[in-house]
Amino acid sequence: MFHTRPFDLNRDAVIAYPVRELRPQSLDAADLLSAVGELAMRGLPGASDVTLAFWRADELLAEASTNGVLSEAVGAFDADLPGPVATVLRSGGTVQLPDLASESRWPEAARELRARGVASCAAAALRRPRFSLALVVYSAVAHPPAAVWAELDLLLSEWVATVVRTRVRGVV
Protein backbone atom coordinates (compact mmCIF):
# COMPACT_ATOMS: atom_id res chain seq x y z
CA MET A 1 0.00 0.00 0.00
CA PHE A 2 1.31 3.43 -1.00
CA HIS A 3 1.09 6.41 1.29
CA THR A 4 0.55 9.66 -0.54
CA ARG A 5 0.36 13.25 0.47
CA PRO A 6 -0.94 16.23 -1.45
CA PHE A 7 1.57 18.06 -3.62
CA ASP A 8 2.67 21.38 -2.15
CA LEU A 9 4.36 23.60 -4.74
CA ASN A 10 6.52 25.48 -2.25
CA ARG A 11 7.60 22.38 -0.41
CA ASP A 12 7.89 19.77 -3.17
CA ALA A 13 8.80 21.61 -6.37
CA VAL A 14 12.02 23.21 -5.17
CA ILE A 15 15.13 21.10 -4.98
CA ALA A 16 17.83 22.81 -3.02
CA TYR A 17 21.17 22.48 -4.73
CA PRO A 18 23.67 25.04 -5.90
CA VAL A 19 23.40 25.94 -9.54
CA ARG A 20 26.75 26.17 -11.27
CA GLU A 21 27.27 28.40 -14.20
CA LEU A 22 28.05 26.28 -17.25
CA ARG A 23 31.57 26.95 -18.39
CA PRO A 24 32.36 24.82 -21.40
CA GLN A 25 36.01 24.08 -21.92
CA SER A 26 37.40 24.34 -25.38
CA LEU A 27 40.16 22.53 -27.17
CA ASP A 28 42.17 24.55 -29.62
CA ALA A 29 43.37 23.06 -32.90
CA ALA A 30 47.04 22.85 -31.84
CA ASP A 31 46.15 20.88 -28.69
CA LEU A 32 43.94 18.57 -30.73
CA LEU A 33 46.73 17.91 -33.23
CA SER A 34 49.30 17.23 -30.51
CA ALA A 35 47.03 14.78 -28.71
CA VAL A 36 46.06 12.97 -31.94
CA GLY A 37 49.74 12.84 -32.92
CA GLU A 38 50.60 11.16 -29.63
CA LEU A 39 47.89 8.55 -30.20
CA ALA A 40 49.15 7.94 -33.73
CA MET A 41 52.74 7.43 -32.60
CA ARG A 42 51.58 4.95 -29.94
CA GLY A 43 48.96 3.21 -32.07
CA LEU A 44 50.77 2.64 -35.35
CA PRO A 45 53.42 -0.04 -35.43
CA GLY A 46 56.42 1.07 -37.44
CA ALA A 47 55.64 4.80 -37.28
CA SER A 48 58.75 6.91 -36.83
CA ASP A 49 57.25 10.40 -37.32
CA VAL A 50 53.86 12.04 -37.84
CA THR A 51 52.61 15.30 -39.30
CA LEU A 52 49.15 16.77 -38.73
CA ALA A 53 47.43 19.84 -40.16
CA PHE A 54 44.06 21.45 -39.40
CA TRP A 55 42.12 23.57 -41.90
CA ARG A 56 38.92 25.57 -41.61
CA ALA A 57 37.43 27.12 -44.76
CA ASP A 58 40.58 26.22 -46.71
CA GLU A 59 42.76 28.18 -44.28
CA LEU A 60 45.52 26.38 -42.38
CA LEU A 61 44.87 27.05 -38.68
CA ALA A 62 47.31 24.73 -36.94
CA GLU A 63 50.06 22.28 -37.68
CA ALA A 64 52.03 19.79 -35.66
CA SER A 65 54.91 17.58 -36.67
CA THR A 66 57.55 15.46 -35.02
CA ASN A 67 59.85 16.43 -37.91
CA GLY A 68 59.21 19.68 -39.79
CA VAL A 69 61.50 18.81 -42.70
CA LEU A 70 59.46 15.69 -43.54
CA SER A 71 56.19 17.63 -43.50
CA GLU A 72 57.52 20.10 -46.07
CA ALA A 73 58.59 17.26 -48.36
CA VAL A 74 55.04 15.92 -48.72
CA GLY A 75 53.34 19.33 -48.78
CA ALA A 76 51.58 18.54 -45.54
CA PHE A 77 50.65 22.14 -44.82
CA ASP A 78 49.70 23.21 -48.34
CA ALA A 79 46.47 21.70 -49.65
CA ASP A 80 47.16 23.08 -53.13
CA LEU A 81 50.55 21.41 -53.60
CA PRO A 82 50.34 18.12 -55.50
CA GLY A 83 50.98 15.26 -53.13
CA PRO A 84 49.39 12.72 -50.82
CA VAL A 85 47.93 15.35 -48.46
CA ALA A 86 46.15 17.28 -51.21
CA THR A 87 44.87 13.99 -52.61
CA VAL A 88 43.32 12.78 -49.34
CA LEU A 89 41.88 16.21 -48.63
CA ARG A 90 40.07 16.11 -51.97
CA SER A 91 39.02 12.47 -52.05
CA GLY A 92 39.10 11.28 -48.45
CA GLY A 93 40.31 7.87 -47.41
CA THR A 94 43.93 6.86 -47.12
CA VAL A 95 46.81 7.17 -49.56
CA GLN A 96 49.63 4.72 -48.97
CA LEU A 97 53.17 5.02 -50.27
CA PRO A 98 54.43 1.63 -49.07
CA ASP A 99 57.81 1.78 -50.81
CA LEU A 100 59.21 5.20 -51.64
CA ALA A 101 61.95 3.62 -53.77
CA SER A 102 59.32 2.68 -56.36
CA GLU A 103 56.85 5.57 -55.87
CA SER A 104 55.74 7.00 -59.21
CA ARG A 105 52.88 9.35 -58.24
CA TRP A 106 55.01 11.91 -56.39
CA PRO A 107 58.64 11.15 -57.29
CA GLU A 108 60.09 14.43 -55.95
CA ALA A 109 58.50 13.97 -52.53
CA ALA A 110 59.56 10.31 -52.48
CA ARG A 111 63.15 11.22 -53.34
CA GLU A 112 63.28 13.92 -50.66
CA LEU A 113 61.81 11.61 -48.01
CA ARG A 114 64.19 8.78 -48.90
CA ALA A 115 67.12 11.18 -48.54
CA ARG A 116 65.95 11.76 -44.95
CA GLY A 117 65.70 8.07 -44.06
CA VAL A 118 61.99 7.50 -44.70
CA ALA A 119 61.14 4.32 -46.59
CA SER A 120 57.32 4.58 -46.60
CA CYS A 121 54.49 6.87 -45.58
CA ALA A 122 50.72 7.11 -45.59
CA ALA A 123 48.31 10.04 -45.48
CA ALA A 124 44.70 10.22 -44.30
CA ALA A 125 42.19 13.01 -43.90
CA LEU A 126 39.18 13.63 -41.74
CA ARG A 127 36.84 15.87 -43.72
CA ARG A 128 33.89 17.49 -41.99
CA PRO A 129 31.61 20.35 -43.10
CA ARG A 130 33.35 22.85 -40.81
CA PHE A 131 36.96 21.63 -40.85
CA SER A 132 39.49 19.23 -42.34
CA LEU A 133 42.31 17.45 -40.59
CA ALA A 134 45.16 15.63 -42.34
CA LEU A 135 47.60 13.11 -40.92
CA VAL A 136 50.80 11.84 -42.53
CA VAL A 137 52.65 8.92 -40.94
CA TYR A 138 56.25 8.15 -41.85
CA SER A 139 58.18 4.91 -41.39
CA ALA A 140 61.83 3.98 -41.79
CA VAL A 141 60.67 0.54 -42.96
CA ALA A 142 59.32 -0.18 -46.44
CA HIS A 143 55.96 -1.98 -46.49
CA PRO A 144 54.86 -1.29 -42.89
CA PRO A 145 52.02 -3.39 -41.42
CA ALA A 146 49.43 -2.87 -44.15
CA ALA A 147 46.42 -3.96 -42.13
CA VAL A 148 46.79 -1.06 -39.70
CA TRP A 149 47.97 1.56 -42.16
CA ALA A 150 45.20 0.74 -44.67
CA GLU A 151 42.59 1.89 -42.16
CA LEU A 152 44.43 5.08 -41.24
CA ASP A 153 41.40 7.27 -42.02
CA LEU A 154 39.21 5.24 -39.63
CA LEU A 155 41.87 5.35 -36.94
CA LEU A 156 42.18 9.11 -37.39
CA SER A 157 38.42 9.50 -36.82
CA GLU A 158 38.63 7.36 -33.67
CA TRP A 159 41.61 9.28 -32.31
CA VAL A 160 39.94 12.66 -32.86
CA ALA A 161 36.75 11.42 -31.17
CA THR A 162 38.77 10.05 -28.25
CA VAL A 163 40.64 13.32 -27.75
CA VAL A 164 37.48 15.42 -27.97
CA ARG A 165 35.62 13.15 -25.53
CA THR A 166 38.41 13.14 -22.96
CA ARG A 167 39.51 16.77 -23.21
CA VAL A 168 36.31 18.74 -23.75
CA ARG A 169 33.75 18.82 -20.98
CA GLY A 170 30.38 20.53 -20.99
CA VAL A 171 30.23 21.18 -24.73
CA VAL A 172 27.31 19.66 -26.55
**120-165, pLDDT tens digit by residue?**
999 999 999 989 999 999 999 999 887 778 899 999 999 999 998 8
Q: Is 17 within a domain? A: no
- Is 142 domain-assigned? yes
Domain that holds residue 60: 27-167
Torsion angle defined by CA atoms of residues 43, 53, 88 and 119, in that order, rounded to the nearest 10 degrees: -60
Q: What's the domain count of the chain? A: 1
Whole-number pLDDT of residue 23: 47
- The pLDDT assigned to 146 comes to 76
Q: What is residue 8's predicted lDDT score, i.e. its pLDDT?
A: 64
Domain contains 4: no
Give the CATH number, domain containing residue 142: 3.30.450.40
Residue 147 lies in a domain: yes
Q: In whole angstroms, give the CA distance from residue 128 to residue 146.
A: 26
**Residue 43 resides in a domain:** yes
Q: Would you say residue 12 lies in a domain?
A: no
Q: Does residue 15 sit within a domain?
A: no
Low-confidence ranges of the chain (pLDDT < 50): 22-24, 170-172
Q: What is the model's pLDDT at position 165?
A: 86
Residue 37 is predicted with a pLDDT of: 94
